[in-house]
Amino acid sequence: MDTFEDSNPFDEDGENIQSEASSASKVDLSDPPSPTRQPPSSPLSRPFPSPGSHKQPQVAFKSDFCCARDRILHSGEDIEILITDAQKTSINSTSPYISYVILTGNTEAHHRYSEFESLRANLVKLYPTLIIPPIPSKQTLGDYAVKQAKAKEDAAMIARRKRMLQTFLNRIAKHPILSNEHVFHRFLDGEVSWTEVLNSPPLSLLPKNILKAPSHNPTDQNASPAYAALPNPSAAHPLRHPDQRFLDSEAFTNKFANHVSGPMEKVTRRVIKRWSDHAQDHADLGAALNGFSLNESSDLSGAIEKTGQAADATYMSTTKLLQELEQNWAEPLHEYSQFASIIKKLLAYRHQKHVQYEMTQDGLESKREQLEDLEKSEKEARRLEDALYRGKVDGSKSIPGPGPPREGQDPNVEGEQETEAEASSPSAYLTPHPGPNPVRRRTKAPGMGLLNALSYTLHGMMDVDPETARRNGITKTRESISQLEDALHLAAQDLKYSSSTIQADLDRFQRQKVADLREMAISMARSHRDWCKKNLEAWEEAKKEIEKIPDHPNSPAPPQDPSVGVGSSNGVRRDSTATINGR
């Protein structure tokens, strides 16, 4: 199991997975749902998820729909799930909470944050080999300490959650496999109770430990009982034969996580803070200039007022820039730091599956060695038993049987001679058959001490026949070996499926990441360009108004034409320095 073949479940041909069965026998895996072709997004739609992040091979549109939401999502049109509002309500609750209004086509649903959280948690269990998109983080204890009762009603936090929860839903809707999940469709249905969904199949069939369930279908109730024999390894358990592909993926993910959640987020927070201070400074400057313009008159007052308006325009454009940086740069960056943590857990699951395979392999080898030792002991015991039996038979044949007493011989003397003959025969010195000998124990028990008497009593209670125990051990060991062979086959099947599916989803995620980072950079550049244009227009108008102010009598003369002499009398003020130097 050192190397694994590639099998991409996102391809149009879903039978690649079945071809990767174990060499011992074919593995029958359920094919994942066929991906659907996604149409190009409108250039006016929100850039996240990026239109280029979910492009799939050109295949036929989906024709078999499980419900109306499935038909809307796979209709071939560019459908975007929207969160249109966040309402404060207390329906089915003793305390008020924020309910988010979800619009999918013409269908409207209402869900609170904890229901989004349960949706994601159950998708992680249903699809342990896929990258499930993140949702916005919970409020921290610091937020509750500072804002206390108003922490759940913070407008900025609610607006941020609306955007990120909308991104979460759209990422699932554009996923080639997750978009076909009926649990997700029921979440978008406003007429279905989410509590009912959580307590009904398939969610009610999820196992407590997904490591002891099929990777391709954890809710399979017909799964082999051999899954129960699989060990439950730790994510820190080392591998004897690791797969280099996933070692490289883990190293790259750690590097990416350290860079995104470290320098990039810190610099982003610092830049946003400085832009915020910059905007506030211009707001203060604009207010001061507008107030100052009231103390002046004529053209000077208009110029000061225009300058104050330009400062106000800079404040407004900078505020808009901050909003765009927050939505199109800071939030996606934080989302990708969450993606890094999700991928780490996904790789840890695959690592545990690999460890599970190796531990099952080791357990099987140990049981086989144990069976070999027991069979050797059984063979040796039978050989000794046969030897004892043959010796006893041979000894009985060599001793003549009792005949009629000879003349002049006492019958009692003859009996004593026979007894001596039996004592001198080889069979009299043979070891008795191993097993309990209660008569012998009873004769020795009265002369034992306290401890020996206790041991005698315990052994009498157990009364274990070594031969029977050995044969029972052989039977149980053979049963364990058969179960472990089935478990090893299942572990190999799960490892192959997990490796191929995780690798395929990592490739899809890499394409999505590149497209999203490109959109983030373009969005930032576009925001700065628009900021510069608006500021330039405002300050150009202020400049025109400033140019209308007449020159002060003591203001410096305008620059002269070099062709005109210094001393020429053309109405231009003479340069006193030139006059002094030309003296």
Q: What are phi and psi of 513, to 5 degrees?
A: -65, -45
Q: How far apart are CA 14 and CA 10, in angstroms?
A: 8
Q: Determine if the pTM surpasses 0.75.
A: no
Residues 6+ away with beta carbon under 8 Å from 402: 414, 418
Residue pLDDT tens, the chain, 583 long: 444 444 444 444 434 433 333 333 333 333 443 333 343 343 334 555 665 444 444 334 677 899 999 999 998 888 899 999 999 998 888 889 999 999 998 999 999 999 999 999 999 999 999 999 999 988 654 554 455 555 566 888 999 999 999 999 999 999 999 999 999 999 999 899 999 999 999 999 999 999 999 999 999 988 888 898 899 998 899 999 999 999 999 999 999 999 998 889 999 999 999 999 999 999 999 999 999 988 887 778 889 999 999 999 999 999 999 999 999 999 999 999 999 999 999 999 999 999 999 999 999 999 999 999 988 988 888 888 888 888 877 777 665 555 555 555 555 544 454 444 444 444 444 444 444 444 444 444 444 466 666 665 655 555 557 778 888 888 999 999 999 999 999 999 999 999 999 999 999 999 999 999 999 999 999 999 999 999 999 999 999 999 888 877 776 766 766 665 544 444 444 444 444 444 4
Cis bond upstream, residue 201 (ω within 30): no
Inter-residue contact 264 to 334 (CB < 8 Å):
no
Neighbours of 483 (CB within 10 A): 17
Tokens 């759209």 belong to 170
For the record, the structure tokens of 343 come out as 């991928």
